[in-house]
Amino acid sequence: MSFQKTAKAISDPTRREILNLLKAGPMTAGDIGEHFKTTGATMSHHLSILKEAELITDERKGKYIYYELNMTVLDEILTWMTSLRG
């Protein structure tokens, strides 16, 4: 819920791309990973940072874990930015 975590989370291009992918709807970690040429471990790391920042949520369904966008946190940044513009 901290601005710091949110800002750092979206400061990485891979993580921003993950968020863009999730716009289309929930996806499994594996499906997300297929869009990149990194290992599953690296993907898991990025997902955990996005989760820690509460930008995504996860839900296990049997073998798979589905990740989903949770945009409520972005309001914090939006507010900060618009206040900066006065």
Partner DNA sequence: AATACGTTTAGATAAGCATCTAAATAAGTA
Partner DNA sequence: TACTTATTTAGATGCTTATCTAAACGTATT
CA distance 75 to 1: 11
Q: How many other CB atoms are found less than 10 A from the CB of residue 58? A: 15
- If one asks whether residue 68 binds DNA (CB under 7 A), the answer comes out as no
Q: Within 42-81, which residues bind a copy of itself (CB under 8 A)? A: 69, 71, 74, 77-78, 80-81
Residue (37 or 86) nearer to DNA, CB: 37
Which strand ranges, in their side-by-side order, compose the sheet holding 64-69? 27-28, 64-69, 56-61
Question: Site size for DNA, by CB under 7 A?
Answer: 28
Binding site for DNA (CB under 7 A): 8, 11-12, 14, 28-31, 33, 37-49, 58, 60, 62-65
